[in-house]
C-alpha cells in the first residue's frame, strides 16, 4: 500500500477538508464577520469543483493494499456524482445566504457551514468507496452532520423534532447495515467489494445468511435514498428541517446514496455482460424483482401520499420519495442504459428540485408559511417567482418542453428497451397522478382569486441570478439535451469491471 | 420559395409574439391585444401563401418526396452508445393534403379567436401570452412529421389550455381545467409509451448507410424498416402491435373526444371563455382525429383494417349519444358542446370507411366542424355577453329583437344540421356515401343517419325556443351585434356557404393524399398479412 503516491486522487476531498478547517478557524478568530463564511465555503466548493472536473476521465484505484483490493475507486461514476454533489452544495450555500431560518441563528453560522462541508466530505468518500468499512464510515460522517443540520434552528420545535426523528431512524438503519456488513465479513472474510465478487465467482453454494446480509446492507442504502419501507423519516424531517437542508438532503444526500447503491450492486453481483448491454448478476436471488417492486411501491406511495399534503415542504418530501422511486426503476433495469438514465435523471432532478425549494423558501421568508392554502392568489403579485415555480413544477411533472420530460423519457426508453412494459405503464400512470398535486400549487397561485393577498417581494440581484441559473438549464435541457446525455453516457464507467 | 422556412415561421411566430407580449408593460393592453391579432392575421396570410404554392398532385402520407415545404435537419445527435448505437432526432416539418386543411383551419380559427379575445379584461398580458403559446402548440402538431417533435407540440398545448380555462373561465373553472388536464395527460402518456415502443422497433437507413433507431413517422410507416427484435415489430412473434394500437387510439380518442372518454369536454366548454371554446372545438378536437389519420392509420395499417367496424361503432355511438345528450341540455353552451361530440362522430365514421369518399368526408368534416362550431360558440358568446345567462328556456323571440344575429344563427344552425347548400351537408354526405360503400360499416352508417334527424331536432328546437315566439320583455333592451362580432362571423359564414356551394377546392386539396392513404393501407395490409402467415 502506497499512501502518499495516491494522495493526488483525493485532492477534491483534501480541498474540502481544508475548507472545513478554514471555516472553523475563521469563525473562531473573526467572530464578527460571519458574512464571509459562505464566501469561504463557496471558494472551497469551486476549487474542489475544478479538481473534480480535472479528475473526470481518471479511472484509478486509490489506496490499494493488493491488486484489485482498493479502498477508493476514482472512476467516472464517482466523479459524476461528485460533480452533482458540488453543484448542489454550491446552490445550497447560495440559498443559505437568503434563508431567514439560517439568518435567525446569528452566531452559529460557522457551525452551519462547517457541517455542510462535513456532509460533502462524507458524500465524496461515499460515492467512491469500494470497501464496506469505508462505506459505513462515510455514511456515518454524512448522517451525523445531517442530524445536526436538520435541527439547526434550535428554538424551533419542529426542527428539534425533525432532528430527533432523523437520529432515531438513522441509527436503527445504520445499525442494521453494520450488522449486515459483519455477517458478510463473517461469510467472505473480506470487506472489499471486488473481493466479495471474486469469492462469489468461485462459490458453488450460497448461504441464506448471505442474502440476509445483503438485504441488511440495502436497508442502510434504502434509508439514505428514502425508499419504501425506509422512508418514514423523510416527510417529518423534510418538513421540520430548515428548507436549505431539506433541499440538500433531497438532492445531494440522495445522489450519494444512489451512487453507492449502484456501485454495490454492480461491484458485488456483476458476472458479465449480456448481449444488449444487460448485466448478468449472480442470481441466487432475483435482485431485479426486489428492486422493481421497491421502486414501484415507493413511487406509488410517494405520489398518492403527496396528494393529501397541505404543507408544500411536506408535499415536496413525498414528491422526492416518488422521484426516488423513478430513479430506482432506472437502477433496476440493471444495464448501462438504465444507469445512464439514472445519471441524466439526477442532473435534471437537481436543477428542478433545488429550484422548487428555492422559490418555496423565498416565499416562506416573506409570508412565513409553507402551507399551500396560503399561496392563494399569490401568482399575480409575484410574476417572476410565480413563473419560475411554474416551470419547476411542470418539469417535476415531466411535461415537455422542460428538462423533466427528458429525464422521464430516458428512463422510459431504458424500461421499454428492457421489455419492462408493464412497469413502464405503472410509472407513467404515476406521472398522471403526480400532475394533480403539483398543479394544485399553481391552481392556488393563479386560479383562486384572493385580492386581499398582495405581497411584494424585493428580489436581490443575487437571488435573481440564482433563480435564473436554475431556470435556464431546466428549459435549455428540455429543448437541447445532447450535452447532458453525452456526458451521462461517458460517466457510467465503474472501476474494476 | 422552396428554401424559405415558411412552416417554421408559421409555427414559431406566435412564440416570438409571446416574448414581445411579455416585454410590453402590463398597462398597454391595447398594444398586447393588437399585437396578438396582427400575429394571428400574419398566420392566416402565411397559410394562404402556403395554399397558393401548394402542389395539388403530390400525395404525401408515407413518402417524403411528396411532402411539401419540408424542413428537415438534425436536432439531437448522440453518437457512440455501445448498446443502442446512435441516437438521433430530427427537426422535421412538412405538409400534405392531410395537414394542409388543418393548417388553414388553425390559422383561421385562431385569428377569429384572437378577435373574440378582445373583451378579455383580466390579466390581459398573461392571457395573450398563453394564447400565443397555445397557438404554437396547435400549429406544430399539424406540421410535425417527427414523432418526438409531434409529441412535444402535443404536450406544449396542455399547460396554456389549463391556465386559459382555469384563470379566465366560468364559476367551476378549477374543476373543468384540472379535469381537462388529467384526461389529456392520461392520453398523452399512452401516446408516449407507444412512441418509445415504435422507436425501438423501426430503423432508418442514413445517408452513410448506417442504420439507427428513428422517431421519423414516415420511416415507421415502412414495413421494411422494422427490426426483428423490436417489440412493436410485425416480425416479432409475440408482438404487441395490437395493444399498442389500442393505447395510441385511446390517447387520441380522449382528445376527439370519443365516447366514453368525452366527459371532460362539456365541463371544459361550459367553463372556458368564448375564445377558448372556439379554439377548443375548432382546433383541439381535430388533433385527435388528425393523430389517428397521421399516426395510427399508416403505421398500423393491418390493425386499422381489422378494427374499422369498431371505429365506426364508436363513431355511431358518438353521433347518437351526443345528439341525445344535446337534446337534453338547458344550457346553450353545453348543448353546443354535446353537438360537437355528435359531429366528431361523423369524422370517426368516415375514417372507418377506409375509402376515398369516407376519408375525404372525414377530413372535410373536421374542417367544417371547426368553422361551424366556432360560429356556434361565438353565437353563444354574443348572447351571453349581453344577457349573462345561457339558459335556453329563459329566452324567446329574439328574432325580432336581434335580426342580424338571428340571421347568422340560422346559417350556423342549418350548417350544423347539414342543410344542402351549406358546408356541413357536403361532408356528412361524403361520410355517409363512404361508409355506406364499405360492406363492414354499412349497417352502422344506416343507423347513424338517425343522428341527422336528432341533430335537426335539437337545433331547430333551440332555434324555436330562443329566437321564435313572443319576445320575452326582459330582453327588450338587447342590442344587435356590434362590428367586432360581425367581423368574426362574416368570414366564417362566407367559408361555410362557399364550401357548401363549391367544395371542389378543398376536396382537391386533400384528394391525392387521401388516395395515397387508401392505397397505402390496402397494400401495406396485404404485406403485413403475408408476414403474419410466415
Q: Name the residue among B123, B185, B199 with its Cβ closest to that of A380.
A: B123
Set of chain A residues whose Cβ sits within 8 Å of the Cβ of B162 = 439
Set of chain A residues whose Cβ sits within 8 Å of the Cβ of B198 = none
Do B187 and B179 meet the contact criterion of CB atoms below 8 Å apart?
A: no
Nearest CA in chain A to B200: A417
Whether pLDDT at B2 is above 60 = no
* A116, A118, A119, A122: CA torsion to nearest 10: 160
Interchain pair B77, A482: CB under 8 A:
yes
Interchain pair A400, B151: CB under 8 A:
yes
Distance from C-alpha of A470 to C-alpha of A477, rounded to nearest angstrom: 11
Whether pLDDT at B534 is above 50 = no
Distance from C-alpha of A82 to C-alpha of A72, rounded to nearest angstrom: 13
Among A481-495, B93-107, B222-236, whose mean pLDDT is lowest? B222-236
**Residue A411: exposed, middle, or buried by beta-carbon count in 10 A (0-12, 13-18, 19+)?**
buried
Interchain pair A485, B87: CB under 8 A:
yes
Side-chain half-sphere CA neighbours of B366 within 13 A: 35
Q: How far is A125 from chain B (nearest CA, A)?
A: 29
Tell me the pLDDT band of B5, cut-offs 50, 70 and 90. Answer: confident
The 10s digit of each residue's pLDDT in B396-450 is 788 888 888 889 999 999 999 888 889 989 999 999 999 998 888 889 999 999 9
DSSP-derived letter for residue B258 is P
Side-chain half-sphere CA neighbours of A62 within 13 A: 22
On whether the pTM is more than 0.90, the answer is yes
The 10s digit of each residue's pLDDT in A60-107 is 888 877 777 788 888 889 999 999 999 999 999 999 988 888 888 777
End-to-end alpha carbon distance in chain A: 21
Q: Name the residue among B78, B190, B193 with its Cβ closest to that of A485.
A: B78
Interchain pair A428, B177: CB under 8 A:
no
pLDDT at A276: 66
Interchain pair B193, A412: CB under 8 A:
yes
Look at residues B72, B439, B98 and name the one whose alpha carbon lies nearest to residue B292: B98
Phi and psi torsions of B212, nearest 5°: -130, 155
Any chain B CB within 8 A of the CB of A402? Answer: no
Any chain B CB within 8 A of the CB of A399? Answer: yes
Q: How far is A276 from chain B (nearest CA, A)?
A: 6
Do A450 and A377 meet the contact criterion of CB atoms below 8 Å apart?
A: yes
User: HEC states along B116-129?
Assistant: HHHHCCCCHHHHHH
Higher pLDDT, A76 or B533: A76
Distance from C-alpha of B136 to C-alpha of B154, rounded to nearest angstrom: 10
Set of chain B residues whose Cβ sits within 8 Å of the Cβ of A335 = 83
Mutating which of A341, A447, A476, A489 best tests the B interface, going by the most B Cβ atoms within 10 A? A447
Nearest CA in chain B to A483: B78
DSSP-assigned letters across all residues of B453-510: HHHHHHHHHHHHHHHSSSPPGGGTT-----HHHHHHHHHHHHHHHHHHH--HHHHHHH
Any chain A CB within 8 A of the CB of B157? Answer: no
Side-chain half-sphere CA neighbours of B145 within 13 A: 28
Q: What does the pLDDT average to over A124-129?
A: 92
Any chain A CB within 8 A of the CB of B166? Answer: yes
Look at residues A298, A259, A306, A281 and name the one whose alpha carbon lies nearest to residue A423: A298
The 10s digit of each residue's pLDDT in B182-223 is 999 999 999 999 998 888 888 888 777 777 888 888 888 888
- As separate numbers, helices (DSSP H) first and strands (DSSP E) second, chain B gives 23, 4
Set of chain B residues whose Cβ sits within 8 Å of the Cβ of A401 = 152, 155-156
Work out the percent of chain A whose per-residue pLDDT is above 70.
97
Interchain pair B231, A436: CB under 8 A:
no
Q: What does the pLDDT average to over A460-477?
A: 91
Interchain pair B181, A435: CB under 8 A:
yes
Any chain B CB within 8 A of the CB of A435? Answer: yes
Nearest CA in chain B to A340: B81
CA angle B384, B387, B392 (to 5 degrees): 70
Written as nine digits, the cell of A453 is: 393577498
The interface residues of chain A toward chain B in range 285-344, judged by CB-CB distance below 8 A, are 335-337
- Judged by phi (left if over 0) then psi (alpha if -120 to 50, else beta), residue B418 lies in left
Phi and psi torsions of A46, nearest 5°: -65, -45
pLDDT at B80: 63
Interchain pair A337, B163: CB under 8 A:
no
Interchain pair B78, A425: CB under 8 A:
no
Interchain pair B76, A431: CB under 8 A:
no
DSSP-assigned letters across all residues of A181-215: HHHHHHHHS--BHHHHHHHHHH-SS--HHHHHHHH
- As separate numbers, helices (DSSP H) first and strands (DSSP E) second, chain A gives 20, 4
Any chain B CB within 8 A of the CB of A125? Answer: no
Do B89 and B75 meet the contact criterion of CB atoms below 8 Å apart?
A: yes
Any chain B CB within 8 A of the CB of A430? Answer: no
Any chain A CB within 8 A of the CB of B9? Answer: no
Nearest CA in chain B to A335: B83
Set of chain B residues whose Cβ sits within 8 Å of the Cβ of A480 = 75-76
Whether pLDDT at A309 is above 50 = yes
Set of chain A residues whose Cβ sits within 8 Å of the Cβ of B87 = 485
Tell me the pLDDT band of A459, cut-offs 50, 70 and 90. Answer: confident
- CA dist B269 to A327, B164, B180, B274, Å? 38, 12, 10, 9
Work out the percent of chain B whose per-residue pLDDT is above 90.
45
Any chain A CB within 8 A of the CB of B175? Answer: no
Do A93 and A135 meet the contact criterion of CB atoms below 8 Å apart?
A: no
Set of chain B residues whose Cβ sits within 8 Å of the Cβ of A425 = 193
Q: How far is B426 from chain A (nearest CA, A)?
A: 39
Distance from C-alpha of A119 to C-alpha of A127, rounded to nearest angstrom: 12
- Judged by DSSP in three states, A437 sits in helix
Do B265 and B228 meet the contact criterion of CB atoms below 8 Å apart?
A: no
Mutating which of A428, A449, A487 best tests the B interface, going by the most B Cβ atoms within 10 A? A428
* B351, B355, B358, B361: CA torsion to nearest 10: 100
Interchain pair A425, B193: CB under 8 A:
yes
User: HEC states along A223-286?
Assistant: HHHCCCCCCCHHHHHHHHCCHHHHHHHHHHHHHHHHHHHHHHHHHHHEEEECCCCEEEECCCCC
Interchain pair B167, A446: CB under 8 A:
yes
Whether pLDDT at B84 is above 70 = no
Do B371 and B108 meet the contact criterion of CB atoms below 8 Å apart?
A: yes
Amino acid at each position: 500500500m502506497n499512501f502518499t503516491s495516491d494522495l493526488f486522487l483525493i485532492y477534491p476531498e483534501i480541498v474540502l477538508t481544508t475548507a472545513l478547517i478554514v471555516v472553523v478557524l475563521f469563525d473562531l478568530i473573526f467572530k464578527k464577520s460571519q458574512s464571509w463564511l459562505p464566501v469561504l465555503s463557496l471558494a472551497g466548493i469551486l476549487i474542489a469543483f475544478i479538481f473534480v472536473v480535472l479528475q473526470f476521465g481518471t479511472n484509478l484505484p486509490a489506496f490499494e493494499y493488493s491488486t484489485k483490493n482498493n479502498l477508493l475507486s476514482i472512476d467516472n461514476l464517482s466523479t459524476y456524482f461528485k460533480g452533482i454533489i458540488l453543484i448542489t452544495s454550491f446552490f445550497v450555500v447560495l440559498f443559505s445566504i437568503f434563508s431567514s431560518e439560517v439568518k435567525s441563528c446569528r452566531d452559529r453560522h460557522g457551525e452551519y457551514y462547517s457541517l455542510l462541508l462535513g456532509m460533502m466530505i462524507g458524500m465524496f468518500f461515499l460515492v467512491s468507496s469500494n470497501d464496506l468499512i469505508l462505506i459505513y464510515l462515510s455514511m456515518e460522517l454524512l448522517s451525523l452532520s445531517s442530524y445536526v443540520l436538520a435541527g439547526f434552528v434550535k428554538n424551533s420545535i419542529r426542527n428539534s423534532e425533525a432532528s430527533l426523528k432523523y437520529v432515531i431512524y438513522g441509527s436503527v438503519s445504520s445499525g442494521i447495515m453494520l450488522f449486515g456488513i459483519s455477517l458478510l465479513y463473517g461469510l467472505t472474510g473480506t470487506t472489499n467489494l471486488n473481493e466479495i465478487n471474486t469469492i462469489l465467482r468461485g462459490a458453488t453454494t450460497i448461504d441464506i445468511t448471505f442474502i440476509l446480509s445483503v438485504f441488511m446492507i440495502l436497508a442502510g442504502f434504502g434509508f439514505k435514498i428514502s425508499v419504501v419501507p425506509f422512508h418514514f423519516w423523510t416527510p417529518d424531517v423534510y418538513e421540520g428541517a430548515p428548507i436549505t437542508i431539506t433541499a440538500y438532503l433531497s438532492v445531494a444526500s440522495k445522489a450519494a446514496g444512489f451512487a453507492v447503491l449502484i456501485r454495490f450492486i454492480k461491484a458485488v453481483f456483476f458476472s458479465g455482460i449480456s448481449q444488449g448491454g444487460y448485466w448478468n448478476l449472480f442470481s441466487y436471488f432475483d435482485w431485479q424483482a426486489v428492486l422493481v417492486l421497491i421502486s414501484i411501491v415507493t413511487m406509488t406511495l410517494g405520489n398518492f401520499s403527496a396528494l393529501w399534503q397541505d404543507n408544500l415542504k411536506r408535499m415536496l418530501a413525498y414528491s422526492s420519495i416518488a422521484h426516488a422511486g423513478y430513479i430506482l426503476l432506472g437502477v433496476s433495469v440493471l444495464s448501462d442504459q438504465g444507469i445512464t438514465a439514472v445519471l441524466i435523471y439526477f442532473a435534471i432532478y437537481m436543477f428542478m428540485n433545488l429550484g422548487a425549494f428555492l422559490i418555496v423558501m423565498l416565499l416562506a421568508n416573506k409570508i412565513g408559511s409553507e402551507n399551500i392554502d396560503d399561496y392563494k392568489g399569490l401568482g399575480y403579485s409575484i410574476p417572476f417567482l410565480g413563473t419560475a415555480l411554474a416551470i419547476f413544477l411542470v418539469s417535476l411533472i415531466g411535461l415537455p418542453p422542460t428538462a423533466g420530460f427528458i429525464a422521464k423519457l430516458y428512463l422510459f426508453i431504458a424500461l421499454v428497451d428492457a421489455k419492462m412494459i408493464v412497469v413502464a405503464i405503472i410509472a407513467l400512470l404515476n406521472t398522471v397522478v403526480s400532475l394533480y398535486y403539483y398543479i394544485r400549487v399553481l391552481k392556488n397561485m393563479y386560479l383562486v382569486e384572493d385580492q386581499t393577498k398582495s405581497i411584494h417581494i424585493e428580489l436581490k440581484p443575487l437571488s435573481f441570478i440564482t433563480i435564473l441559473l436554475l431556470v435556464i438549464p431546466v428549459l435549455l435541457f428540455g429543448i437541447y439535451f445532447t450535452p447532458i446525455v453525452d456526458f451521462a453516457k461517458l460517466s457510467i464507467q465503474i472501476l474494476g469491471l | 420559395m422552396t428554401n424559405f422556412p415558411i412552416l417554421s415561421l408559421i409555427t414559431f411566430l406566435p412564440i416570438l409574439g409571446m416574448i414581445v407580449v411579455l416585454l410590453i408593460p402590463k398597462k398597454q393592453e391595447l398594444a398586447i391585444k393588437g399585437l396578438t391579432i396582427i400575429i394571428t392575421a400574419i398566420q392566416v396570410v402565411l397559410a394562404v401563401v402556403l395554399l397558393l404554392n401548394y402542389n395539388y398532385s403530390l400525395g404525401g402520407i408515407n413518402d417524403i418526396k411528396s411532402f411539401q415545404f419540408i424542413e428537415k435537419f438534425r436536432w439531437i445527435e448522440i453518437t457512440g452508445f455501445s448498446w443502442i448505437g446512435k441516437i438521433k432526432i430530427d427537426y422535421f416539418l412538412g405538409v400534405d393534403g392531410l395537414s394542409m386543411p388543418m393548417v388553414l383551419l388553425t390559422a383561421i380559427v385562431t385569428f377569429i379567436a384572437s378577435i373574440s379575445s378582445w373583451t378579455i379584461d383580466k390579466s390581459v398580458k398573461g392571457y395573450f401570452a398563453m394564447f400565443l403559446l397555445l397557438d404554437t402548440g396547435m400549429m406544430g402538431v399539424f406540421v410535425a412529421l417527427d414523432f418526438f417533435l409531434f409529441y412535444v407540440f402535443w404536450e406544449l398545448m396542455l399547460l396554456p389550455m389549463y391556465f386559459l380555462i382555469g384563470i379566465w373561465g366560468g364559476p367551476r373553472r378549477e374543476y373543468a381545467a384540472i379535469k381537462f388536464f388529467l384526461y389529456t395527460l392520461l392520453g398523452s402518456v399512452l401516446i408516449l409509451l407507444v412512441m418509445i415502443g415504435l422507436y425501438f422497433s423501426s430503423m432508418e437507413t442514413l445517408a452513410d448507410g448506417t442504420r439507427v433507431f428513428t422517431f421519423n413517422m414516415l420511416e415507421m410507416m415502412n414495413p421494411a424498416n422494422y427490426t426483428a427484435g423490436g417489440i412493436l415489430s410485425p416480425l416479432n412473434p409475440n408482438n404487441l402491435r395490437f395493444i399498442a394500437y389500442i393505447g395510441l387510439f385511446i390517447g387520441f380518442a380522449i382528445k376527439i373526444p370519443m365516447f366514453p372518454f368525452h366527459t371532460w369536454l362539456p365541463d371544459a366548454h361550459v367553463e372556458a371563455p368564448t375564445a377558448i371554446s372556439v379554439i377548443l372545438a375548432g382546433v383541439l378536437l381535430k388533433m385527435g382525429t388528425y393523430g389517428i389519420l397521421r399516426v395510427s392509420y399508416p403505421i398500423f395499417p393491418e390493425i386499422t383494417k381489422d378494427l374499422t367496424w369498431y371505429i365506426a361503432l364508436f363513431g355511431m355511438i358518438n353521433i347518437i349519444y351526443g345528439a341525445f345528450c344535446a337534446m337534453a341540455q338547458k344550457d346553450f353552451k353545453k348543448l353546443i358542446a354535446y353537438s360537437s361530440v355528435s359531429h366528431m362522430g361523423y369524422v370517426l365514421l368516415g375514417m372507418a370507411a377506409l375509402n376515398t369518399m369516407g376519408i375525404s368526408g372525414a377530413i372535410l368534416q373536421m374542417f367544417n366542424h371547426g368553422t361551424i362550431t366556432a360560429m356556434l360558440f361565438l353565437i353563444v358568446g354574443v348572447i351571453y355577453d349581453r344577457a349573462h345567462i345561457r339558459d335556453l328556456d329563459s329566452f324567446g323571440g329574439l328574432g325580432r329583437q336581434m335580426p342580424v344575429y338571428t340571421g347568422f344563427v340560422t346559417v350556423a344552425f342549418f350548417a350544423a344540421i347539414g342543410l344542402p347548400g351549406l358546408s356541413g351537408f357536403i361532408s356528412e354526405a361524403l361520410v355517409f356515401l363512404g361508409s355506406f360503400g364499405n360492406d363492414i360499416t354499412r349497417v352502422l352508417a344506416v343507423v347513424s343517419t338517425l343522428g341527422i334527424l336528432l341533430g335537426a331536432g335539437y337545433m331547430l328546437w333551440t332555434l324555436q325556443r330562443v329566437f321564435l315566439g313572443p319576445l320575452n320583455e326582459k330582453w327588450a333592451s338587447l342590442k344587435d351585434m356590434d362590428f367586432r362580432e360581425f367581423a368574426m362571423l362574416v368570414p366564417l359564414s362566407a367559408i361555410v356557404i362557399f364550401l357548401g356551394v363549391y367544395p371542389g377546392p378543398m376536396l382537391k386539396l386533400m384528394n391525392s393524399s387521401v388516395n395515397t392513404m387508401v392505397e397505402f393501407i390496402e397494400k401495406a395490409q396485404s404485406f403485413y398479412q403475408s408476414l403474419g402467415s410466415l
